[in-house]
Amino acid sequence: MKAEDLFDLTGRVAIVTGAAGGLGLSMAEVLAANGATVSLFDFDEDGLRQSVERLRDQGLDVEGRLVDVADTDRLAAEIDAVAETYGRLDIAIANAGMSAGPGFTVPEGRMQAVDMNRWQRVIDVNLTATFVTIRAAAAHMIPRREGRIIAVSSIAGLMAEPLCGYAYAATKASVVNLVRQSAMELAQHNVLVTGIAPGPFRTNIGGGRINDPEVERMFRAGVPLDRIAHVDEMKGLVLLLASPASSFMTGVTIPIDGGATAD
Task: List residues with catalytic annotation.
Answer: 168
* Nearest one of 94, 70, 65 to 196, comparing CA atoms: 94
* Nearest one of 139, 261, 116 to 189, comparing CA atoms: 139
Angle between helices 45-57 and 22-33 (to 10 degrees): 30
Helix/strand/coil percentages in the chain, nearest 5:
50, 15, 30
CA–CA separation, 124 vs 132, rounded Å? 10
CB 138 within 8 A of CB 94: no
Give a three-class secondary structure readout of 71-117: CHHHHHHHHHHHHHHHCCCCEEEECCCCCCCECCCCHHHCHHHCCHH
The amino acid sitting at 236 is G
CA–CA separation, 164 vs 210, rounded Å? 11
CA–CA separation, 141 vs 133, rounded Å? 12
